[in-house]
Structures are given as C-alpha cells and as structure tokens.
Structure 1
Amino acid sequence: MFPLSHMLKSFVRLGTLKVIDAEGRVHIFGGRAPGPEVTMRLTDPTLYRSLFFNPELAAGEAYMDGRMSFENSTLRDFLTLFSVNRLSLGSYPLQKVLRTVSRGLKRFQQANPIGKAQKNVAHHYDIGNDFYRLFLDRGMQYSCAYFLSDSDTLEEAQQNKLRLIASKLDLKPGQKVLDIGSGWGDMLLFLARLADIKAVGVTLSKEQCKLANEKAKELGVADRVRFELRDYRDLTERFDRIVSVGMFEHVGVHHYGEFFTKVNDLLTDDGVMLLHSIGHMSPPGTASPWLRKYIFPGAYSPALSEVFTAVEQNSLWVTDLEFLRVHYAKTLAHWDQRFQANRARVAEMYDERFCRMWEFYLISAEMMFRTGSQLVFHMQLAKKRDAVPLARDYITDTQRAYRELEATRGIGPPG
C-alpha cells in the first residue's frame, strides 16, 4: 500500500485508522493519543497513489464511487478523524509542496468574471428547489443560522440570524435596500415586514429568483420588494443599505477590489452595508479541491487579512465586526439530520452517487467549523465613521424591539 502507508503513519496522530486494503490486508495507523477509531476499506488499489498525491479530492471521489467504505464506523467518524489530524497532513513534505503550488494557481481557481459567475452559481443552486426543501429550514435559508440556545430549532435559529442582521442595518423609514446574492428571498422579505423600506434583491440563480418573487407576492410585499436575475456589477442606482449573506464566498480573492469598489459606488454617502460571509482564522490558502470540483466551482472562504486589504483600498470604514464561530457547525448538523431523514427521496430524485456526494459535503463542512479553521464573520461597512450609533448597544436594543414587533405582527419562523 506504499506510498500511502508512509503518509498515513505521519498523518494519524489523534485516534486510530485501520485500513483494509484491496487485497484484504489490514494496516493500523495512529493510536498514540485518544481520538476517533475508524475502520476504512479500500477496494481499488489505484487509490493508494491518488490518496497519496491528492487526499482531499481522492477521498471524496472514492466515497462517492463506493470504492471507499467504513466498517464499525461511519463517514462522520472518518471525517472527524481527518479534521482533527488536518495539521499533521499539511506538514507532510509532499503536501506542503502541493499546497504551495495550489496557492500559486489561486487566481485561476477563483476566477468569477461576469458570465462565468452565473455558470458557477447555476452548477450548485439550480439543481432544483425541491431538493433544497428537503434539508433547509422552511424559509430556505442556505447560510449560517444563529443559535441563542442549543434547544433552538433550525427555523428559530435562522430567524435569530435575520433579526441580528436586521439590527445591524439600523434601518430608517423610506430607505432603499439592496441584497447582493438574495437567495430564496427571506432576508429582504423579513426586512420588508419589519420596516417601511423598498428593496431589490439580485441573484444569479434562476430557481432562486423565481421562487423569491413568488414569496413576495404571497406575503403582499411585491409592491416594495422585487428580485432580479442580475449580476450586482451591472447595478447603477444607489442604496441606503446593502446586505449580502453567503455570497461573498463566491467572489474570489482577485475580485475583492472589484466587489468593494462597487459597494462604495452603490452606497449613499451615509449608507451602511452588512456583509455575512464564511472566512477562516488561518493565513490565506485555497479551497478544498473536492469542494471546488463538485460543490462550489470558483468558491473560496477568505482569511480576514485578505478582506481588510480590499476594504482599506476602497475607503470604507469597518464600523463593526463580529464572529460566529460554532454556529455554522450546528447549522450543518441540522441540515445533515434532515438530509438523512430524506435520503431515500434524494436517491429517487438523483442517484446514490449524488447522495454520497452531499453526505460528504455536509459532514466535511461541519467538521471545518467544528474542529477546523472556518468561521463566519459579520462585517459592517460605511463611508462615514458615524453612519451608525457609536455605542454598540443599539444592536442588542434593536433585536429586542424587533422580537416584540415580530410577535405583534405575527412574523414567526416559517412552519
């Protein structure tokens, strides 16, 4: 099983990995410190080489194809083992070289010009609304929720997230609001029921745009809220408030300057933006090759140093910054539970390989937030240093006021 066995001896430091190779031989790695115990069976001898040279891509593909399976353990056990030993894998000499090469190609991996950006979005989001209904909350929010309590349902936690973001926008009557990457519409629909605003949401997903406009009509706010199939870079009007939730991960580092230049152009002089995005607490790197190939082409979760550089170059004030650390791990765990409950239905809609791909995605993403370096950040931006109140108490006060307003107006979590 060489050269894979050589790398695994260095890789597994926490927990134990038992590998049954294609010839039925058993190899045991690790055991030096407590951790997950995993038994993995490989049925294809070509995996010895592919896992050695590109473990993240090859492991995902092998699981999807059924060439990798687990006995007396699960995919979750394996991905937990992988995650807690991630640093030792990165320090393996060959992997250090390959990651350096990958970082050098980052510009090409994250190219998202107008046109290609829509193709990248369609790859993931236009596979059908019916699929996403099987595991998202009833409002279909495909981003990190905000858990005020471990007992919060997914629907409650997603409404908490909407309320938190709304409070940071510091809305005033009559304002114009833009949502960049508006998804299935719940952010703007929530704001429109709380405040007297006019709003525009732009998305590159046909499926999302259609459903969001239908929801606006059903809620009776279509006269104030509309959703367009449009690239944000094509907009010319100005807005008092801009919000973007879960879209920045698809921009690409080499487009950050373009993004914040456009934000500056679109904001009124006393305007405010709230950016909700995945990031990481480690130095700049690259996205998982498996994630780029199968789930999010062109996607990347930035280091904060990469974001601040672009913000500073575009004369924007960072008026508030908050980190949601384990909240996305909790969100993904809820999604995985719902996905597994509907797995048979997903297999009918697509096939077994598709189910395995999404299992690998949901659980590996959860591990990145639970034991890896991923986090979610809220960055509030403005052209003026005093565009929002100087004491941060207004965010908490507004959340309380909105909670009371939600109760009065019957704006509860969907369900």
Structure 2
Amino acid sequence: MFAALNQALKQLVQTGHLTVIDAHGRSHVYGDESGRPAGFKIVNPRAPLKIMLDPDRYFGELYMAGDIDLTEGTIYDLLEILMKNMEQRPTPGAAKFFNQLRIGLKRLDQYNPVGKAKANVAHHYDLSGALYDLFLDRDRQYSCAYFETPESSLEDAQLAKKRHLAAKLNIKPGMKVLDIGSGWGGLGLYLAETCGAKVTGVTLSEEQHKMSMERARQRSVSNTVDFRLLDYRHLDEQFDRIVSVGMFEHVGVGHYKEFFQKCRTLLKDDGVAVLHSINRSDGPGATSAWIKKYIFPGGYIPALSEVLPHLEKNGLYVTDIEILRLHYAETLREWGKRFAANRHRAKAIYDERFCRMWEFYLAASETAFRYQGMNNFQIQFTRNQHALPMTRNYVLAEEERLRTIDSKSRRLKSVPAE
C-alpha cells in the first residue's frame, strides 16, 4: 500500500523538504527541498493504508501510537509542510468522501443537550489542572490572545484580549455582566476588578468552577463575582452585558437557534453582548474526526454564514464584527513552545501517548490557523440600535483608559512588599 501513499505524496508535496522512510527502510524524498526539513518513518506496515483511507482521523492516531515516528524536525514542521501544500490543492478522493460524510452527520454528532454538554466539557476541561499550568499564561486564558505587537508576550496578549473585549462591552460601574463559559475565571475577575462590573460566570467544568471560586475568594471579590456550575440555558435573570469567549464552539450547529434565543431573553433591552469564537472562513464544514474523538467531542467550529441568520431571526442587531487573523496561530505557537519545554512534566502526569496526542493537537491547530483558513470572529450584538454610540471611537477610548489602569496595576504588583 506504500506505493499509493508514495504517489499521493509526490502529487501533494511540491514545496518543502519531506523525507519518509517506508516499513522496509527505504528513504523517499518529496518537495523542492526548501525550508526546514521534516521526516517520519513508518513503523507499522498498515499505516499507509490508514493514511490513504482517512488521513484526517488516522494520521494523528498513528502518531499517538508510535506507528509513525519522527526522524527529522518536529511534529509541527511535518504538519506545516503537509498543510501548506494542501492549502492550494483539492482534498483527495477517499478523504473527501469521509469529510462529506462527516458534514452530513454533524447535527447528530453535535447534539448537545444539557447532560451531554456537561460530559463533553468534562472530557477536555476537567483534565489535571497541573497540565494547563504547563502551557497557558498565568491567568489561564485558554482562548485566542490578542497580539497588539509582534513583540507581545503571551501574558501581554491575553491581557490585551480581555481589555479589547471589555472595551467593546462598554461597561459602566455596577452593571450586571454574564460570562457564558467563564473558564478559570480570568475574564470575569478582570471585568469586576478593572471595570467595576457585577459578574456572573457560568461553566460546566467542575475543575474550572472550583478554581474560579477559589480565585474570587483569594482576591476578596466574592461579593461582586459569582461563579456558578450551571448550564446557561438554566438562567432566568437579565443582564446589562453578556460576553462569551471560546464557548460557542461547544454549542453545536443544531443548538444555535436555542443559544441566541436564550441570549435575547437574558439581555436587557439596552444591553450589549460580544461573542468570541473560532471561525471557518471557507463556509460550513465538519469537525476533524481526530479532534472530535480525542480532544473536543461534540464540538464544531462555525462559519459566519451559519451564525448570522440566527441573530437576524431572533431580532438581534449585529453592531460590529471583527475578524482576528493569525492571532490564534501565534497563541498556539506560544502554547506549543511552553508545552515542549515542560513535556517531561506532562509525561509524569499522564504518559507518552498523551504527550504525543497533546503536541499533535497544538501543532495541528496552529497549522490550521496559519494555512487552512481558520480564524476568530468577535460579533457584537444588541436588542436595539440605540444601545451604543454612533461610531466605534468609544472602543478605542475605553481601550486606552483600561490600558492605563492595567499598566498602573502591573507596576503596583511589581513593587516588592516592605
């Protein structure tokens, strides 16, 4: 079966420098030998058949199991060569068939009623907290950062993300803010401490909820920040502002109508909401089979064309859309570097197979954002057209005001206690 894989790689890899060693020890070179070289050897003779049948599912599995093994470069270097070449070429036959099948079944795969949604969240977010400390920033922001300059550190970029969202929300002190999918609490704490909001955060992850509550207690803001282990669909109050970051990817396309109906109910008549989500720029598709099985069961990255109709049909005004290009690629690059530096610690928590799974996840995600049209959108919406100023100048002004507060806060934290 290697003959078929060999032919496919010859057609696919036109640029770059890829070396593959087959199960008999023979070396095959592909591309024009430009850029960083990468290579792998086939350990399991059945690997070529699986790759040809459904590379989206099996390539990651084979790497996790050690059935293919790197001989040169990193897993990112290998995936970069493949993704860059795939960017300009159609999906091959068998892989295209399975992708179309997944598109046809996506509503079934993404059926996320309350109980199932919690189980899907637990699969990923209730992993050991020590794992996330190995690669996230100090605030545990597990979503796309906002790199204002190429020199920004991950910590700077994650703070800038919170500031950017807060500015779009146009929060006034004392406003009630709902954070749907509040994670480990970083954004909610920022909106309370820096913007003076009264924040309710909801999450389905027990581990995230425990840490959020503890962070609020340690910072003495439990009276202004209320983190709840609760599905947003069970809320029955109204808020001045709603924000949701990195949660919409877990809603499922069949639940978009339900999501925006609930947002409209939860939002006051003069309220403002901002939705931050990964976006597929090439239109509706399907979740990667490997990602669905090992990383995010029930998850789906939407296209704008799948989201905007539900806002329109639920009487919500889209007041601003921003596309963040390559910001998540840079975020994932930083996560990948940190995970690689702490790989031995991750192996001590789990095992070698888990480490291979996680580094493949981070590398595949980064290449998808660099070469496969993935990006992020931030959609601001309201219940009426009069809820915000006429121009976007208020966003820039508020961002500068918050930047001054952030800078002062950082200086104070850097001063040693006497």
Which bin holds the TM-score, normalised by the shorter protein? over 0.9
Over 3 Å counting, the alpha-carbon distance change for 1:133 and 1:17 in structure 2 is same
Specify the alignment match of 2:151 in structure 1: 151
Specify the alignment match of 1:241 in structure 2: 241
Q: Summarize deviations over 1:288-309 as a string: whole Å, max 9, x none.
A: 1111111111111111111112
Over 3 Å counting, the alpha-carbon distance change for 1:407 and 1:88 in structure 2 is closer
Contact 1:41 1:68 survives alignment (8 Å): yes
Over 3 Å counting, the alpha-carbon distance change for 1:104 and 1:306 in structure 2 is same
SS of residue paired to 1:115: helix
Contact 2:136 2:335 survives alignment (8 Å): yes
Q: Summarize deviations over 1:286-332 as a string: whole Å, max 9, x none.
A: 11111111111111111111111221111111101111111111111
Over 3 Å counting, the alpha-carbon distance change for 1:9 and 1:408 in structure 2 is closer
SS of residue paired to 2:177: strand
Specify the alignment match of 1:396 in structure 2: 396
Specify the alignment match of 1:186 in structure 2: 186
Contact 1:12 1:88 survives alignment (8 Å): no
Distance 1:86 1:414 in 2: 47
Specify the alignment match of 2:52 in structure 1: 52
SS of residue paired to 1:85: helix
Specify the alignment match of 2:67 in structure 1: 67
Specify the alignment match of 1:27 in structure 2: 28
What is the identity, as a one-letter code, of the residue corresponding to 1:20?
I
Q: Summarize deviations over 1:383-405 as a string: whole Å, max 9, x none.
A: 11121111101101001111122
Contact 1:318 1:379 survives alignment (8 Å): yes
Q: Summarize deviations over 1:135-156 as a string: whole Å, max 9, x none.
A: 1000111011111112211111
Specify the alignment match of 1:126 in structure 2: 126
Contact 1:406 1:412 survives alignment (8 Å): no
Specify the alignment match of 1:6 in structure 2: 7
Contact 1:14 1:36 survives alignment (8 Å): no
Distance 2:414 2:157 in 1: 11
Q: Percent identity?
A: 47
Q: Does 1:294 align with 2:294?
A: yes
Contact 1:320 1:379 survives alignment (8 Å): yes
Q: Which runs of 5+ in 2 are unaligned?
A: none
Over 3 Å counting, the alpha-carbon distance change for 1:136 and 1:216 in structure 2 is same
SS of residue paired to 2:387: coil
Over 3 Å counting, the alpha-carbon distance change for 1:154 and 1:10 in structure 2 is same
Contact 1:162 1:187 survives alignment (8 Å): yes
Q: Summarize deviations over 1:72-91 as a string: whole Å, max 9, x none.
A: 32211111012112246643
Q: Does 1:17 align with 2:3?
A: no
Distance 2:175 2:362 in 1: 37
TM superposition shift of 1:409: 4.8
Over 3 Å counting, the alpha-carbon distance change for 1:89 and 1:111 in structure 2 is farther
Q: Does 1:228 align with 2:201?
A: no
SS of residue paired to 2:72: coil
Distance 1:410 1:38 in 2: 42
TM superposition shift of 1:217: 1.2
Contact 1:22 1:42 survives alignment (8 Å): yes
SS of residue paired to 2:271: strand
Distance 1:107 1:412 in 2: 50
What is the identity, as a one-letter code, of the residue corresponding to 1:5?
N
- Name the stretch that deviates more: 240-249 or 93-102: 93-102
RMSD, aligned CA: 1.8
SS of residue paired to 1:312: helix
SS of residue paired to 2:240: strand
Distance 1:408 1:136 in 2: 24
Q: How many equivalent pairs are there? A: 414
Describe how 1:322-401 pairs up with structure 2 within 5 A: 322-401=322-401
Q: Does 1:285 align with 2:285?
A: yes
SS of residue paired to 1:38: strand
What is the identity, as a one-letter code, of the residue corresponding to 2:13?
V
What is the identity, as a one-letter code, of the residue corresponding to 2:216?
A
TM superposition shift of 1:336: 1.0
Over 3 Å counting, the alpha-carbon distance change for 1:325 and 1:270 in structure 2 is same
What is the identity, as a one-letter code, of the residue corresponding to 2:230?
R
SS of residue paired to 1:323: strand
Contact 2:40 2:72 survives alignment (8 Å): no
- Name the stretch that deviates more: 302-311 or 241-250: 302-311
Distance 1:194 1:217 in 2: 17
Distance 2:212 2:412 in 1: 18
SS of residue paired to 1:177: strand
Contact 1:156 1:413 survives alignment (8 Å): no
TM-score, normalised via structure 1 length: 0.95
What is the identity, as a one-letter code, of the residue corresponding to 1:116?
K
Distance 1:37 1:197 in 2: 51
What is the identity, as a one-letter code, of the residue corresponding to 2:8?
M
Distance 1:302 1:7 in 2: 30
- Name the stretch that deviates more: 399-408 or 206-215: 399-408
Contact 2:56 2:95 survives alignment (8 Å): no
TM-score, normalised via structure 2 length: 0.95
Distance 2:273 2:411 in 1: 24
What is the identity, as a one-letter code, of the residue corresponding to 2:141?
Q
Over 3 Å counting, the alpha-carbon distance change for 1:157 and 1:413 in structure 2 is farther
TM superposition shift of 1:410: 5.1
What is the identity, as a one-letter code, of the residue corresponding to 1:283?
G
Over 3 Å counting, the alpha-carbon distance change for 1:139 and 1:350 in structure 2 is same
SS of residue paired to 1:71: strand
TM superposition shift of 1:219: 1.3
